């Protein structure tokens, strides 16, 4: 069973080695999809309670990224590197984590499935 939940956060960054406009300080309204894959627990009828998932995502990711300057945590803050950082924060708390989807804009997305 695959479970997927959407989150959002707003953050600023710049990409110091970018040859175009992303070199300048700017911001995005990111959309984050967190996917877990696992068996349904016969006692609960769930892979994970959505509230427990949200608690982990809020504590480990959103509180640290929302309305922040990403370069303070992720110096080369490309969508790819942000996705890896999010994975590394969530995986210890969510062993069923199978995929991160991060939309930097409505039509630009990175999908990360771990290493």
Q: Is 67 a catalytic residue?
A: yes
Which residue among the candidates 22, 35, 101, 109 is catalytic per the annotation? 22
Contact 10, 30 (CB under 8 A): yes
Q: How far apart are CA 19 and CA 113, in angstroms?
A: 28
Q: Is 104 a catalytic residue?
A: yes
Which residue among the candidates 16, 18, 26, 67 is catalytic per the annotation? 67
Q: Is 22 a catalytic residue?
A: yes
**And the tokens for 79?**
């969508």
Contact 90, 36 (CB under 8 A): no
Residues classed as catalytic: 22, 67, 104
């Amino acid at each position: 069973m695959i479970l997927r939940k959407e989150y959002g956060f707003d953050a600023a960054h710049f990409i110091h080695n970018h040859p175009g406009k992303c070199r300048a300080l700017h911001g995005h309204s990111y959309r984050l999809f967190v996917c877990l894959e696992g068996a349904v627990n016969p006692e609960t009828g769930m892979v994970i309670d959505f509230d427990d998932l949200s608690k982990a995502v809020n504590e480990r990711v959103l509180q640290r990224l929302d309305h922040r300057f990403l370069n303070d945590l992720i110096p080369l803050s490309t969508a790819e590197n942000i996705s890896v950082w999010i994975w590394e924060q969530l995986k210890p708390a969510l062993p069923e984590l199978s995929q991160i989807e991060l939309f930097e804009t409505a039509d630009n997305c990175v999908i990360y499935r771990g290493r």
